[in-house]
Amino acid sequence: MKFYDDILGLIGNTPLVRINNITKQLKIKAPIYAKMESLNPGYSVKDRIGVSMVDWAEKEGVLKKGGTIIEATSGNTGIGLALVAAARGYKCIFVLTDKVSVEKNRYLKALGADIVVCPAAAKPGTPDHYVATAKRISEQTPNSFYPDQYNHPANPAAHYHTTGPEIWRDTEGKITHFVASIGTGGTISGTSRYLKEMNPAIKVIGADPYGSIFKTYKDSGHVPEPTPYLVEGIGQALPTGNADLNIIDEIINITDRESFDMARQLSRREGIFCGGSTGTIFAGALKVAKDLDENACVVFIVCDTGEHYLTKFHSDEWMKEKLLLEPQRITGALIAETKNADAPGSLVFVSPDETVSDALEKMNLNGVTQIPVLEDNRSVGSVRESGLLTKLLADRGLLEAKIADVMDKSFPVLDADASLVEIKSKLQKHPAVLIEDFKRITAIITRSDVLDIQR
């Protein structure tokens, strides 16, 4: 029989996958390989440290039968620890910030963990900060183990003993550049220590979000004021014990926009479905690789799966709300969908045989000033409040007239796939456009709807 003793046996030995379509289009000569940490059983690189920190605690007698594991986490270390807890019969409590995706939060609960959520805006060292909260809960919980992934030596050690050797083995020692992010710093520090021991010429590049302190801290020795960013799991407001910045040759700052764009491109164009931090790293890898030739060998970490972010940057609606969506992906259907998110299918219209009075009442009730005239789901005309009122001033009797007798021309009708550029061009000349999907008018887009998405 072929089987693993438990789920933890599946951790590690993740494959390398070459990037093809994106590098070809960018005319990058150097081969770039993705280290697929998203294929671990908890779908992230952090499974490796979950098991190594618990192994340490069991060996040292810190964690005993029936004990509780308590950790501050952006989610993935929690998932790694929860797998160990499930397999070995421990309880666990994880302290997250409210920036962590709902998917990771629910995943942790599904694995049996208890969750405490702290404000992401709380400053390090204050009682509401997620690390201080985890520490406090562990002090108050008997027979508990607080790994402290930011400082625990078993974190980089896991990567020194597994991630580094795997990359060296699978590239047959050909790796020239290693690119990773810096969260706790465990992945980049442990992996790079092994790789540089094997070949000191290997260059290590850290990719860090704008707003995190690592680049300025490494380049100047000064810890700047952090600013918020949207990518999860990486960057810090303060240096960590496990981030050995001396082993990193260069740190590159990457914007949220670029991180999410790259993660979305990896998913769509290479089939590598990944999280935002992978996008940050891949953006860094591309910047490094563009100056290299075919003799180089660039390896970057795919930190976790895109499934953790389906309601975040993998959703066009979320990207649009954050003003991060690529303009070519803003279609008529998407504008309509987000505009009507609270009340789908709620297009306000009149029929040609309704009266002017009916139309004015509908506009008034719905707080709109122009509506399409629809017959059998086709657009046959339009009415605007100001036009109707002008006509009524001249002849009050028109209140009972049929809409068919007073309506203006139809608003232009565009397909659901119409681009923002097409929509904007029509709105230069018309106050609104209608969106047609499967031969049915489904939405109206006005000038202010477009202004809203371009704030």
Ligand X SMILES: Cc1ncc(COP(=O)(O)O)c(C=O)c1O
Residue 251 lies near ligand X (rule: CB under 6 A): no
Closer CB to ligand X, 322 or 447, in the complex: 322
Q: C-beta of 77: minimal distance to ligand X in Å?
A: 5
59 counts as catalytic? no
Q: Say how far apart CA 173 and CA 445 lie, in whole Å.
A: 57
Q: Provide the β-strand partners of residue 212.
A: 210
Kindly tell me which of 44 and 331 has the beta carbon lying closer to ligand X: 44
Nearer to ligand X, 55 or 422 (CB): 55
Nearer to ligand X, 41 or 412 (CB): 41
Identify which of 185, 113, 190, 123 has the alpha carbon closest to the alpha carbon of residue 149.
Answer: 185
Contact present, 118 and 133 (Cβ < 8 Å)? yes
CB of 40 to ligand X, least distance (A): 12
Nearest residue to ligand X, by Cβ distance, number only: 233
**Sign of the Cα pseudo-torsion (301, 306, 312, 314, in order):** positive
Q: Which long-range CB contacts under 8 A does 259-264 form with residues at least 24 apart?
A: 259/209, 259/231, 259/283, 260/230, 260/231, 260/313, 260/319, 260/324, 261/326, 262/286, 263/306, 263/309, 263/313, 263/314, 264/313, 264/314
Q: Which of the residues 260 through 279 are near ligand X (CB under 6 A)?
A: 275, 277
Among residues 27, 35, 46, 196, which one is catalytic?
46
Q: Specify whether the CB–CB gap between 248 and 206 falls below 8 A.
A: yes
d(C-alpha 231, C-alpha 348), whole Å: 38
d(CA 62, CA 93): 16
Q: How far is the CB of 277 from ligand X (least distance, A)?
A: 3
Q: Is 14 an interacting residue with respect to ligand X (CB under 6 A)?
A: no
12 binds ligand X (CB under 6 A): no
| Range 153-182, binding ligand X (CB under 6 A) | 181-182
Stretch that binds ligand X, among 8-16, 74-82, 126-134, 420-428 (CB under 6 A): 74-82
Query: Between residue 180 and residue 209, which ones bind ligand X under the rule CB under 6 A?
Result: 181-188
Q: What is the largest CA-CA distance in the chain?
A: 92
Provide CB contacts within 8 A for 265, sequence distance 6+: 22
> Which tokens hold the place of 121?
């805006």
Q: 3-class SS at 2?
A: coil
Counting residues that bind ligand X (by CB under 6 A) gives: 20
Binding mask 45-64 for ligand X (x = CB under 6 A): xx------------------
Kindly tell me which of 138 and 191 has the beta carbon lying closer to ligand X: 191
Return the range that interacts with ligand X (CB under 6 A); candidates 230-238, 282-290, 291-299, 433-441. Answer: 230-238
Q: How many residues does the chain have?
A: 455
Reported as type and span, the H/E element at residue 207 is strand 203-209
The minimum distance between CB 275 and ligand X, in angstroms, equals 5
Cβ at position 183, least distance to ligand X in Å? 3
Nearer to ligand X, 195 or 420 (CB): 195
Phi then psi dihedrals of residue 426, to 5 deg: -65, -35
Nearer to ligand X, 93 or 188 (CB): 188
Instruction: Give whichever of 12 and 233 is closer to ligand X, judged by the CB atom.
Output: 233
How far apart are the C-alpha atoms of 426 and 95, rounded to whole Å?
50
Q: How far is the CB of 378 from ligand X (least distance, A)?
A: 49
Strand, coil or helix: 418: coil
Question: Using the rule CB under 6 A, which residue among 68, 77, 101, 176 binds ligand X?
Answer: 77
CB of 31 to ligand X, least distance (A): 23
Helices (H), 35-163: 47-59, 76-88, 102-110, 130-140, 154-158
CB of 184 to ligand X, least distance (A): 3
Figure out which of the listed residues 234, 324, 373, 383 binds ligand X, where binding follows CB under 6 A: 234
| The binder of ligand X chosen from 12, 206, 233, 372 (CB under 6 A) | 233
What are the CA-CA distances from residue 235 to residues 80, 99, 182, 277 (Å)?
A: 20, 13, 6, 9
In whole angstroms, what is the distance from residue 138 CA to residue 343 CA?
45
Residues identified as active-site: 46
Q: Which residues bind ligand X (CB under 6 A)?
A: 45-46, 74, 76-77, 181-188, 232-234, 275, 277, 303-304
